[in-house]
Structure 1
């Protein structure tokens, strides 16, 4: 979202913000008023705080507060027993007060705002599809960051990197913001309604306390009260209270951010001191030559026959592939750092300087893409020999994402990308996390290892038995003791769960159906003892 224009330093390279008609009149705060929820700005205030300071948020309207309370009640009712489609529904509920606050503040919806919101909703849908905790945690964490970025907006690197963290600073101030608004309002028939509400609340407390004491003292009274009162599991009450306040704080924090986001795009960043051609080009040429030599050697290995090279005496193929992958992963990461510093200090006075920068940085990015491909090929060889694990699929995903980032940087260096590159890089990470969760990595791990066992390879049942319910369809293809051992812990875990439809993932429901049709016996630990465990290295 964009925010109304306020006095402040200009944003280099443009801004993701915008102005809405009548924005200044909608703030609800007299001109010159101080914001009581942020530190005072004075001569000794750091420049970055002054430059990025948010405007004073408008007093929240009653419908904003009502929508936030509704989101809190929604959280209390649906979020206390696990994650599923309820997270997506809560995300939609929490977005309502934010949208109302943004509209009241005169902010306009931008295409990138819609993009970030849709990405956050897709990430929030991951728990509805997968049962594995690790991709769910990653998706939920990134979803919160993307939602924060949608509320802040941003085009520069400072905006898109700090925007995902900015919402955390709004949670506590939003409570005072809402409380101050609620206290200062005049409600219809307030003098008549408030005493009635207080009397009803006191009566309810007295009835609950003394009714519980009488019920514990006499069985007949207990039976009578049990028949008169609705069935409510009070053991869940503390958890539901916590979830109500958690949902309320999240919704209010989103609304407060939408009303007055900090302008991270205005963070002052000093341009790097340009170097001379010789000073800058010599290290870059040397690094390109080194990368070129490595790529040439890899081409010889690939076209000359990978198996022939791997059969050399003293060379262990597994160690070569595994260690080589980690080293090449670090090469990719460090190259991105080098590219960032090279762009920061690159000579840019003349057209020749700019052409030299594009050529050397672009060549380095292109060579590094080949390094990424080499690392990916090595990991695929290693996985083919020893099977897929969570660590291997995770680092492979990271390496592929780094390759995408390098391609984006390469295009940005060649064609210029001051505005779109920061958001494109962040969007590539968001899409990668969403895809990683939606493909259900535990299911892929189980499928690949079971397929290898069907081809005659050994299988590590102990490792596969620790996967989530996503793995059940693939593990169900195993026979005898192997199946019982692989599914034993998962079956017990599912049996201990009693969740509603909204807090159950599709993978969990499918696994439960499979295990009901072909249940695992109680003696599955004995089946594990009888099984011949594979020797797969993890």
Structure 2
């Protein structure tokens, strides 16, 4: 049961007031504490909001659950289940409403019980005299007593019809009362059908029966009496509606783990609009027969028997469709073994989801409950439906431990070994949470995430490390949600922050599991005594041994007030985001829902004309590029007034955007273009193939332009990153071309994600800042032009290259390029260790720089690009 901290409050207004007051107080206290401790707003605001939401969820738990339970109970009562009840735990106005609802439900159950008893009693009382009348009429019809045979035969027919009606009413009364015994046993289907046909032939109707069973020795598990009743009612209905001299076909066969029985008559058939209504009680008129002698209950009982066995029944289109021979064709699909059912389990009837349970005894009114839908179900809808996710104390503990580890290793430290350990711990929690941790896609994403996390101890450039961390987060989330579409990948990124809200009920159940085991007081006492023993004896022994004191200083973080507050905030923040990601892995949303192929356009020109326009625009651009190459720079200068360097710089950004938009055009056209005929597929391959090939030429042009621009104006990490992005887009264009050729693109979104991650890992492996430093020094040696200020701003990744490359520089230039680098960036803290900073310190260890006072003077090249 959901905990209700405010259950004792008798007014819902007071509850809402307490809820608002508690949330405001918690938010104010946390915000004040964070501001006093120097916590930055980007960390303090999310933690404050998260804690306020947690307090709101804790106090509001159970306030609206009775209302949601009453809604669910009312829907079940509308289907005939009057045994549902809602808890009466609250003392406020909602609790009073719950008690009134239970009273109403009890009254409705009593009325329903009386109705069923009335039907059963009337049927029972009528059966005995009708049986006697039938026997008397049989004697008279046989000539035992003097009578008019024709009149007596009519009376006998009416009596038989009344008897059938009573028997059918008794069967329906059993269904309504929920007492439908099912005794399955092995049944030879061919023999059962033969017996049913023999019984139908006794009725004397002028029809013949054609029975076919495949395989002939088919044996099923079923209640023979109930199954015989179902077949007999279908045969009776078919023979009654078939014309004289016609044939009623009965076919049965196995289909996988189920078997099918079909009865096809030669009558007038049933209109599609009436095929469901004929299974309702007294639905004979819907079947097109007002005088056939039926009670109108046979098909209703047939559906009840099929539901009892866990199967389905319905009228389907006759063989040959509307233009075929006609007639009605009823199809019954049943499992080879019916599902196990406890005694007196309610059974639905007439195709509905009715649950006709026995009404509870007065002493059991509060024992029968109904589960309430979550308050977040309407918010998330079909995108993230509620699932019975069990509490996971291990995930909660793992997330909190990761947060504590981050607070210990990250506060007031640079990125390094400690960051890698925190990332690996978070990844371990995420992998433990996902139920498909052995899936190849999930394992592949986990391997990529580890490689991306290693950049924190290999590279010092913050922009590169941050890009790798963001890519690692995206890859990890896609690894656990397993999207297959581009929209699914985007929704996965949006689902991570939403998981913090969607997982609040699960978090509440997990915390309730933690505190509801009856051992809270014992755990608290044990924790207090353990901490006391650690503090007392630890302080004594540390003060007695200097070496132990050094170890403790190195292992125990600084717990001054400001740092303690910062560590608490980091613990909550990191633990919260890890827990949200773990819930996302544990209960992944339907990120690919509703992203299937759309309906193609009706006419080919609707998609082809826009694509051909884009193809023509690209063709004109390529002609212009060829003109520049063939006519030379002088022609370019005369016609545009631009130098070649200015010309290539002017268009690079536009070409990059055009490449990305081309991918969007290919995606949209491939989704909307029809593929029904060979001509459709040929036009699709031809138009999009030409567009992809033109785009590859544009990509080559863009990369060439950037190369010329870097040669003219220098190399930077941003320009190198843009080169990598353009090359990655070119790879996607090539992949799009392959998808167009084979007309299959389900693999493309995952390929785009993985190839992007691999490209980023390749960039990190190249060491971009060292590459930029090396090329700028080479350019300086060739042209005498370099931006010294930019080189000074490179990270420690570039220091070994700068040290080696500056050997041929003048002392002033060497001091300028290495200005401000002391070689102490590696630090002495183990958790800050980084390979790039360590190599930089080693490279600078033996370097003797000139007096830095000359740096920036008029005689020095430092200060402005040359």
TM-score by length of 2: 0.51
Tell me whether 1:428 sits opposite 2:765 in the alignment: no
Q: After TM superposition, give the deviation of residue 94 of structure 1 in Å.
A: 1.7
Query: Which deviates more, 69-78 or 375-384?
Result: 69-78
Q: Distance in 1 between matches of 2:864 and 2:646?
A: 16
* 1:243 corresponds to: 570
Q: Distance in 2 between matches of 1:325 and 1:282?
A: 27
Q: Distance in 1 between matches of 2:467 and 2:487?
A: 22
Paired residues of 1:167 and 1:253 also in contact (CA < 8 A):
yes
Q: Distance in 2 between matches of 1:536 and 1:343?
A: 49
Tell me whether 1:67 sits opposite 2:385 in the alignment: no
Q: After TM superposition, give the deviation of residue 357 of structure 1 in Å.
A: 1.7
Q: After TM superposition, give the deviation of residue 507 of structure 1 in Å.
A: 1.2
* 2:790 corresponds to: 463
CA distances 1:51-94 after superposition (whole Å, capped 9, x unpaired):
32244352333333333333233323322312223333323212
Paired residues of 2:633 and 2:644 also in contact (CA < 8 A):
no
Paired residues of 2:464 and 2:764 also in contact (CA < 8 A):
yes
* 2:476 corresponds to: 147
* Pair 1:309–1:383, CA change in 2 (3 A): farther
Q: After TM superposition, give the deviation of residue 251 of structure 1 in Å.
A: 3.0
* 2:421 corresponds to: 89
Q: After TM superposition, give the deviation of residue 310 of structure 1 in Å.
A: 6.2
* Pair 1:145–1:474, CA change in 2 (3 A): same
For residues 267-346 of structure 1, the aligned pairs below 5 Å read: 267=594, 271=598, 274-299=601-626, 301-302=628-629, 304=630, 314-346=641-673
Q: Which structure: greater helix fraction?
A: 1
Paired residues of 1:83 and 1:503 also in contact (CA < 8 A):
yes
Q: After TM superposition, give the deviation of residue 521 of structure 1 in Å.
A: 5.7
* 1:50 corresponds to: 381
SS of equivalent residue, structure 2 residue 786: coil
* 2:717 corresponds to: 390
* Pair 1:259–1:460, CA change in 2 (3 A): same
Q: Distance in 2 between matches of 1:95 and 1:527?
A: 48
* 1:118 corresponds to: 447
Aligned with 1:445 (options 772, 781, 787): 772
* Pair 1:58–1:488, CA change in 2 (3 A): same
Q: After TM superposition, give the deviation of residue 191 of structure 1 in Å.
A: 4.2
Tell me whether 1:98 sits opposite 2:427 in the alignment: no
Paired residues of 1:145 and 1:165 also in contact (CA < 8 A):
no
Aligned with 1:159 (options 488, 494, 497): 488
Q: Distance in 2 between matches of 1:34 and 1:531?
A: 77
CA distances 1:475-510 after superposition (whole Å, capped 9, x unpaired):
223231222222223x15x64774533433211111
Q: After TM superposition, give the deviation of residue 329 of structure 1 in Å.
A: 1.8
Aligned with 2:847 (options 518, 525, 529): 518
Q: Distance in 2 between matches of 1:34 and 1:121?
A: 42
* 2:525 corresponds to: 195
Q: Distance in 1 between matches of 2:717 and 2:826?
A: 24
* 1:531 corresponds to: 860
Aligned with 2:802 (options 464, 470, 475): 475
* 1:416 corresponds to: 743
Q: Which structure: greater strand fraction?
A: 2
SS of equivalent residue, structure 1 residue 73: helix
Unaligned runs of 5+ in 2: 1-368
SS of equivalent residue, structure 2 residue 841: helix
Paired residues of 2:769 and 2:798 also in contact (CA < 8 A):
yes
CA distances 1:425-462 after superposition (whole Å, capped 9, x unpaired):
12222222222233222111111001111224311101
CA distances 1:360-383 after superposition (whole Å, capped 9, x unpaired):
011101101101101111111121
Q: Distance in 2 between matches of 1:536 and 1:412?
A: 47
* Pair 1:528–1:58, CA change in 2 (3 A): farther
Structure possessing the higher radius of gyration over alpha carbons: 2
Paired residues of 1:450 and 1:474 also in contact (CA < 8 A):
no
SS of equivalent residue, structure 1 residue 517: coil
Q: Distance in 2 between matches of 1:433 and 1:32?
A: 52
Q: Distance in 2 between matches of 1:395 and 1:524?
A: 37
Query: Which deviates more, 510-519 or 370-379?
Result: 510-519
* Pair 1:265–1:294, CA change in 2 (3 A): same
* Pair 1:68–1:278, CA change in 2 (3 A): closer
Q: After TM superposition, give the deviation of residue 123 of structure 1 in Å.
A: 1.4
Paired residues of 1:459 and 1:535 also in contact (CA < 8 A):
no
* 2:707 corresponds to: 380
Aligned with 2:377 (options 37, 40, 51): 40
Q: Distance in 2 between matches of 1:192 and 1:278?
A: 76
Paired residues of 2:728 and 2:755 also in contact (CA < 8 A):
yes
SS of equivalent residue, structure 2 residue 733: helix
TM-score by length of 1: 0.79
Choose between structure 1 and 2 for higher RCO, CA contacts under 8 A separated by at least 6 residues: 1
Query: Which deviates more, 132-141 or 411-420?
Result: 411-420
* Pair 1:279–1:246, CA change in 2 (3 A): closer
Q: Distance in 2 between matches of 1:428 and 1:234?
A: 44
CA distances 1:7-34 after superposition (whole Å, capped 9, x unpaired):
xxxxxxxxxxxxxxxxxxxxxxxx9856
Superposed CA RMSD in Å reads 3.5
Q: After TM superposition, give the deviation of residue 308 of structure 1 in Å.
A: 6.7
Paired residues of 1:365 and 1:409 also in contact (CA < 8 A):
yes
* 1:132 corresponds to: 461
Q: Distance in 2 between matches of 1:174 and 1:328?
A: 44
SS of equivalent residue, structure 1 residue 432: helix
